[in-house]
Amino acid sequence: MATIGFIGLGNMGGPMLANLVKAGHTVRAFDLSDAALARAEAAGATRAGSVPDAVEGAEVVLTMLPAGPHVRSVYLDEGGILAAAAPSTLLIDCSTIDVDTARAVATAAEAAGLHMVDAPVSGGVGGAEAGTLTFMVGGPDAAVTAARPILEVMGKAVVHAGGPGTGQAAKVCNNMMLGIQMISVAEAFMLAKRLGLDAQKLFDVSSKASGQCWSLTTYCPVPGPVPTSPANRDYAPGFTAAMMLKDLKLAQEAAARSGAATPMGAAAESLYALFCNQGHDGLDFSGIIRMIDGQE
């Protein structure tokens, strides 16, 4: 069992921490939110008063932060992780951020004699709570091997994508596909509605035909066909529209830097921006079907 410093205890980080504690790891937790720290303590973690307090003496440091600037600050600033961590500490960043930041922080960690992987996740809050996340991991072979037992406590799949930053590359590509697919599924159901085709009948056909995808069979955006989908709880989020918009923006930034043509990704970003600007950023991303249906 390892001593783990865990920084960033939001909707994803909190349940991920809880699974580490359940597995027998000693976890020292830090977040700017007192409520998040209280939940971490209730889960069995020890409250840390600062980033250095969480990092000092830890064999592993895990972060789950909102965006690239937060990652740069927490790792690179004076009093940050790289300054506080002992040599050979394993650093695991599970944030979803831009590839350039992931690679810059990994380079700085290597120069400081620390092992680091970028390991963004797929699976949403439900996956974090159930310990069934998928981790897309970028980093050197030795660091990924060391990180795997920790990640496997929190997830069902750990995929080594390649060198530093490739975990983030896999995440933005995956979520661009997801955002596009959710819009396509929503449009199909709304077309079916106007053509007089029952939603369950469309599901019965498409879930067994060439329209099959995760956004349909696991996360269906209309109530009924998939009882566990957010559509059946008024689109209470497993993965918010705001988070989807963030990931689509990251994908478009990466496309612009790399010269990739992603017109469908750009269209998805525009539609999610419109949905969020209407005040629905806190809804599940599948709730965009309401806008497509003309309800918003």
The answer to whether 129 and 163 have CB atoms below 8 angstroms apart is no
Which of left, alpha, beta for 160 (phi over 0: left; psi -120 to 50: alpha)?
A: beta
Burial of 185 (0-12, 13-18, 19+ CB in 10 A): buried
Rounded CA-CA distance 279/130 in Å is: 29
The dihedral through the CA atoms of 106, 41, 135, 231 has a sign that is negative
Token digits of residue 29 = 């937790």
Distance CA 54, CA 67 (A): 20
Segment holding 90, helix H or strand E: strand 90-93
Which residues, in sequence order, are CB contacts of 20 under 8 Å at separation 6+?
Answer: 4, 6, 27, 62, 150, 153, 154
Q: Where are the alpha helices (DSSP H) in 155-287?
A: 166-194, 199-206, 214-217, 241-258, 263-275
Amino acid at 140: P
- Residue 137 and residue 143 in contact, taking contact as beta carbons nearer than 8 Å: no
Q: Which of 156, 171, 201, 208 is catalytic?
A: 171
**For residue 56, which phi and psi values (nearest 5 degrees)?**
-60, 125
156 catalytically annotated: no
Distance CA 114, CA 5 (A): 15
Q: Which residues contact 198 (CB under 8 A, 6 or more apart)?
A: 192
State the Cα–Cα distance between residues 251 and 97, nearest whole angstrom.
Answer: 10
Question: What would the two tokens of residue 76 be?
Answer: 């690179």
Would you please indicate which residues are annotated as catalytic (active-site) residues? Answer: 171
